[in-house]
Amino acid sequence: MKGIIQITGEKGVGKTSMALSYPGIKSLDDLAVFNFDSKTYPASERYGFYKSYLHMLTDYDFNNKNSDPELALSEQVISDFSQAYGKKVVILDSWERFTKGLLTWTEKNAHYLKSVGGTEKMKTMTKKGHAKWMEVGFLDALIVKGGVETIFVINHLKDEWDSPVGKPDSGVKTGRSIPDASETLEQKAMARFWLKHNPDHPCPIAIVLKDPGVHRFVPGGGFKPYKAFPDKLNPAALGDVTERDVTLWEIIEHYQENPVGARILHGYEKATPDEFAMISSSLSKTQKQVWENNQKLALMFGDGYNDELIERIKALRDKGFVGAYQELKEEFPELTLAQVKETLA
């Protein structure tokens, strides 16, 4: 998997471990780590580049009214990005800590970055809007200028707020958590995973927030996209793993070799209602509509939920819900007209 991969999820679930276990790391010299967390990394002295930055937030000077440790951290990171050029894999751990100071850095250097005009309010809005593009611009530079193949952006979770327009992190907490990441990063990432603890195995479960897909070239038909992953990556996809250790990358490789495509998902591949509620605020509008429809059908059918039945109903869409119901009611005697209507809604 090449490009930007975002990893988020619960505390202590193994976000950093997922990045470090990436099979694309053939040599530690090909790895660069920008560590904005307090955790230590194993064998970091052997990496192509490794640096820890969080301590810089304490480098304040009470005698200097212009002291800004957060800005200084961002300036140091930007200066260090070139150290990752030539490496194959870059890990940006707790990336949100860097981007917090990136707005101040962009405002300070705006006259170098783009033309800014208009009223003072318009200038401020222009600088803020440009800061989000600088974030992905630095990531793109690592790939285009630095030759980096894969970038792991690790984000922690933060509380979601029901906030007035223009006033983020104010208002009332919704009780849900969301990745501490910008919408721009989430749009540009080629794959996004939300990790959660697995009660049945040491290997965590990964909810797929963004599927990278599989693109195959068909002569005369161009590239055809196929769905690569199910709703979630579960060790159960590899069979009985109770007696052995597995990583999420083994599961990912399984689906790369056997893409989901349009097939019916197995039970262990589907997100539960609780999992959907957990990540719903992090989905695009279209993704959310698809997931909500699937969850609605699962609740309506209850124990009678059957993937084959759902697909059979959808295949009879041209006959209308009454015609579809009449054709299937003898084969599925528990089926109701309301269920058919809801499936075709």
Q: What is the pLDDT of residues 112-130, one digit of tens each?
A: 777 777 777 777 677 777 8
How far is 24 from 301, CA to CA, in rounded Å?
43
pTM: 0.82
State residue 41 phi and psi, 5-degree precision.
Answer: -105, 140
State residue 59 phi and psi, 5-degree precision.
Answer: -85, 60
Residue 188 confidence class, pLDDT cut points 50, 70, 90: very high
pLDDT value at 83 more than 80: yes
Q: Report pLDDT for 34.
A: 98
Residue 304 confidence class, pLDDT cut points 50, 70, 90: low
Residue 332 lies in a domain: yes
Residue 78 confidence class, pLDDT cut points 50, 70, 90: very high
pLDDT value at 27 more than 80: yes
Residue 161 confidence class, pLDDT cut points 50, 70, 90: confident
Residue 208 confidence class, pLDDT cut points 50, 70, 90: very high
Tokens matching residue 342: 């809801």
Residue 72 lies in a domain: yes
Tokens matching residue 155: 């984000």
Residue 224 lies in a domain: no
pLDDT value at 303 more than 90: no
Residue 263 lies in a domain: no
pLDDT value at 301 more than 80: no
Task: For the chain, give the percent of residues with pLDDT over 70.
Answer: 92
pLDDT value at 71 more than 70: yes
Q: Report pLDDT for 175.
A: 79
Q: Report pLDDT for 306.
A: 65
Strand pairing report for 89-93 and 150-154: parallel
Q: What is the total residue count of the chain?
A: 345
Residue 46 lies in a domain: yes
**Segments forming the whole domain that contains residue 315:** 306-343
**Residues contacting 153, CB < 8 A, separation 6+:** 4, 5, 6, 7, 92, 95, 139, 181, 185, 189
Q: Report pLDDT for 215.
A: 81
User: Which of 167, 197, 227 finishes a domain?
Assistant: 197
Residue 155 lies in a domain: yes
Residue 224 confidence class, pLDDT cut points 50, 70, 90: confident
Residue 307 confidence class, pLDDT cut points 50, 70, 90: low
**98-110 residue pLDDT tens:** 999 998 998 888 8
* 149-158, 297-306, 315-324: which is most confident: 149-158
Looking at per-residue confidence, does 263 or 26 come out higher? 26
Q: Report pLDDT for 62.
A: 87
Q: Write out the DSSP string of 302-343.
A: GGG--HHHHHHHHHTGGGHHHHHHHHHTTTSTT--HHHHHHH
Tokens matching residue 113: 């970055």
Q: Are residues 51 and 169 in the same domain?
A: yes
Residue 117 lies in a domain: yes
Residue 301 lies in a domain: no
Q: Are residues 189 and 312 in the same domain?
A: no
Q: Report pLDDT for 191.
A: 95
State residue 334 phi and psi, 5-degree precision.
Answer: -85, -10
Number of domains in the chain: 2
User: Which of 181, 197, 213 finishes a domain?
Assistant: 197
The average confidence (pLDDT) of the chain is 87
Q: Which of 86, 229, 55 minimizes the C-alpha distance to 148?
A: 86
User: Which of 163, 197, 231 finishes a domain?
Assistant: 197
Residue 170 confidence class, pLDDT cut points 50, 70, 90: low
Q: Are residues 191 and 310 in the same domain?
A: no
Is 116 within 8 Å of 110 (Cβ atoms)?
yes
Q: Report pLDDT for 168.
A: 63
Q: Report pLDDT for 166.
A: 65
Is 88 within 8 Å of 25 (Cβ atoms)?
yes
Q: What is the CATH number of the domain that holds 114?
A: 3.40.50.300
Strand pairing report for 205-210 and 191-196: antiparallel
Mean pLDDT (whole number) for 274-283 = 79
Looking at per-residue confidence, does 169 or 93 come out higher? 93
pLDDT value at 302 more than 80: no
